[in-house]
Amino acid sequence: MALFLAIYKKEGPYLCDMKSFDVPIIYRSPLISAIKKKRKEQDRMKKDFTPTLLDFGPLQISVARHFGFCYGVENAIEIAFRTLDQHPNKRIFLLSEMIHNPQVNADLQARGICFLQDTSGRTLIPFEELHKEDIVLIPAFGTTLEIEMQLRNRGITTEIYNTTCPFVEKVWNRSEAIAKKNFTVIIHGKPTHEETRATFSHAAVHGPAMVIKDMEEAKLLAEFIRGNRPMDDFFNHFSSQCSANFDPIEHLKRIGVVNQTTMLASDTQAIADFLKKTILEKENCEDLVADTRDTLCYATLDNQTAVRGLLSTPADLAIVVGGYNSSNTSHLVELCELQLPTYYIENAQKISTENSISHYDIHAQVERVTVNFLPSKRPLQILLTSGASCPDALVEGVIERLLTLVPDATTLDSLLKSYQA
């Protein structure tokens, strides 16, 4: 983790200040905006990861130092809504969900945008139904070279409607650079995730590439690198996760690890260190492992580090807000779960006035209902954060809903006035 932070500081922790985006006001929150503005003024160097305490008397909510929309998400939303405004008479499509947030995607669909694929890449509208006059937006996750070619073959230009996050493109560039030096690109990511599929496509065009999803798969891969497993068995485990004509005997000699930008920084670091150690134990040659450095985006690293700071605060429970298919949000949940009861919800409507909560179980991948989830102790202490694709307005909505469940709590308006004073 120290390596990630060192590189992050060297390469620019202020990337979130590069540009201000025109994001619809429905996604903004007066309270959250005021909190973020004040923290930014107090901590321009972004060295303080302690949470912000919202003291409502009998209810105390500690909010993470960093959370919510990131640069790439705001960029994608701005392009999508601007495209809708500028082309009211054209058919506009998205390859798949713009970002992993149900409200944002529903808002875009309500404005007339249609999705060509679901998040797994399954066809919803065949490309054959597209015309060259149509507009197709590339989502923030990016897309594969194969899909880009299909669109070009139908006369569709995507350059000005491409919302691919620049930090995803950074991974593509890093992959290309090490592939050209004859390293095999190993991608730490979720194999079916849109971003990982896109990164794999861009890496594989330059050389051998494969995807591993976690440390367990890294350990399995190490067995083949060491020669402890027959190479004939390699494709029984990784056939769908490696590039065409992959030769494990040759292509596992020189490697470089990059990642899906929303993975846990500590997991990627551990996998990279483990595979490097495996190579060095076999050959004792530093040149066989590429120096890929950190390929996590600033927001992922900020949010994860902020959650670690948040967890240093005593609390009764944690609430994480975001879309259930959001990779970066699920990793924030994982961190919180290690320490205290954690509830992963999409919005305030998941909290009932009867003190029950509908929340997502990331392990069983089902939504569960917990009754009497708020303890009776006072003051009640809650930790709160959200993923990089979650509008601040949803976070404020959760705060408002919690206030209705705690008698005699200070009002939201009175707290907001204290920040605006």
Cβ pair 357, 343 in contact under 8 A: yes
| Those residues with Cβ within 8 angstroms of residue 226's Cβ, 6 or more apart along the chain or in another chain | 278, 281, 282
Identical fold, 71-161 and 178-288: no
Tell me how far apart the alpha carbons of residues 378 and 405 are, in angstroms, rounded to a whole number: 12
Q: Which fold has domain 71-161?
A: Rossmann fold (3.40.50)
**CATH node for 2-69+298-420:** 3.40.1010.20
* Of 290 and 380, more confident: 380
pLDDT tens track for 322-335: 999 999 999 999 99
pLDDT tens track for 133-162: 999 999 999 999 999 999 999 999 888 999
pLDDT tier at 305 (50, 70, 90 boundaries)?
very high
* Of 10 and 380, more confident: 380
Structural Rg of the chain based on CA atoms = 23
Altogether, the residues listed in the chain come to a count of 421
Running DSSP on this structure, what letter comes out for residue 147? H
Q: What is the pLDDT of residue 311?
A: 98
Which of 182, 143, 134, 189 lies closest to 162 in space, CA to CA? 143
Q: How far is CA 100 from CA 61, 113, 119, 253, 325, in A?
A: 25, 16, 9, 36, 6
β-bridge mates for residue 368, sequence order:
359
* Of 287 and 366, more confident: 366
pLDDT tier at 296 (50, 70, 90 boundaries)?
low
Q: What is the pLDDT of residue 15?
A: 46
Task: Give residue for tokens 């404005």.
Answer: 111
Q: Classify 178-288 by CATH class.
A: alpha beta
Percent of the chain whose pLDDT exceeds 70: 95
pLDDT tens track for 196-228: 999 999 999 999 999 999 999 999 999 999 999
SS3 317: strand
Tell me how far apart the alpha carbons of residues 375 and 388 are, in angstroms, rounded to a whole number: 29
Give the phi and the psi of residue 152 in degrees, each rounded to 5.
-60, -40
pLDDT tier at 394 (50, 70, 90 boundaries)?
very high
β-bridge mates for residue 220, sequence order:
none
Q: What is the pLDDT of residue 299?
A: 84
Tell me how far apart the alpha carbons of residues 82 and 281 are, in angstroms, rounded to a whole number: 54
Domain limits, the chain: 2-69+298-420, 71-161, 178-288
| Those residues with Cβ within 8 angstroms of residue 414's Cβ, 6 or more apart along the chain or in another chain | none
Q: Is the pLDDT of residue 54 over 70?
A: yes
Least confident of 106-120, 146-160, 277-291: 277-291
pLDDT tier at 73 (50, 70, 90 boundaries)?
very high
Q: How far is CA 265 from CA 1, 119, 188, 256, 335, in A?
A: 7, 23, 10, 16, 11
Q: What is the pLDDT of residue 401?
A: 97
CA 213, 170, 102, 338 torsion-angle sign: positive
Helix H or strand E encompassing 345: strand 342-345
Choosing from 148, 195, 334, 346, the catalytic residue is: 195
The pLDDT mean for the chain works out to 92
pLDDT tier at 79 (50, 70, 90 boundaries)?
very high
Percent of the chain whose pLDDT exceeds 90: 82
Instruction: Please indicate whether residue 286 is annotated as part of the active site.
Output: no
Over residues 117-140, mean pLDDT: 94
Over residues 72-87, mean pLDDT: 95
Q: Is the pLDDT of residue 46 over 70?
A: yes
- Distance, C-alpha 316 to centroid of its chain: 26
With both helix axes pointing from N to C terminus, report the angle between 166-179 and 71-86 in degrees, rounded to the nearest 10: 120
Q: Which two tokens stand for residue 42?
A: 């107090």
Tell me how far apart the alpha carbons of residues 254 and 367 are, in angstroms, rounded to a whole number: 43
Over residues 22-44, mean pLDDT: 93
Which of 239, 140, 135, 114 lies closest to 193 in space, CA to CA? 140
Q: What is the pLDDT of residue 2?
A: 36
